[in-house]
Amino acid sequence: MREKLMSALKEAMKAKDSRRMTTIRMVQSAIKDLEIANRTKPNPETTDGDIAALLSKLVKQREESAKMYVEGGRPELADNERAEIAIISEFMPKQLSEDEVIAIIKGIIAETGASSIKDMGKCMALLKERYPGQLDFSKASGQVKTLLS
């Protein structure tokens, strides 16, 4: 994933696309911050899954900012945030469809032997471990809850 970001940055520099360059550099900086934070953990390796989760978080932050800008009457700033979302989204793993997510959740429920809402934590932990950045965990949480009820 890092190589993909670096080659995209080089292409943006050649094309003199300043918005793209700035956004990719911001993503690289966030990844560097994540790597520094991970150094204190027992397993200091920063995986592509960690980076995918970070990208998802960056997109979510920009969506919230865009919403606030629209509510505040600043559509031009909201457009800037949406442009950054589009650039960041290019580097994210393919998002799973709702049907795929439900099938995965059913598989995890069967695998863990979850039978009640008390087992929701086990299911969510496995989802976060196996599918970082590929699905919206807040929606998945609701689906796990529904299937366990």
Catalogue all structural domains in the chain, each as residue range(s) with its CATH number: 2-89 (1.10.1510.10), 98-148 (1.10.10.410)
Instruction: Read off the pTM.
Output: 0.70
pLDDT digits (tens, 9 = 90+) for 65-110: 999 999 999 999 999 999 999 999 888 877 788 888 888 888 888 8
Residue carrying the six token digits 């700033």: 77
Distance CA 77, CA 105 (A): 38
Size of the chain, expressed as the number of residues it contains: 149
Q: Are 120 and 137 a contacting pair, CB within 8 Å?
A: no
Across 110-133, average pLDDT: 84
Q: Is the dihedral of CA 70, 75, 77, 78 positive or negative?
A: positive
- CB burial of 106-125 (b: ≥16 within 10 Å; e: otherwise) equals eebbeeeebeeeeebebbbe
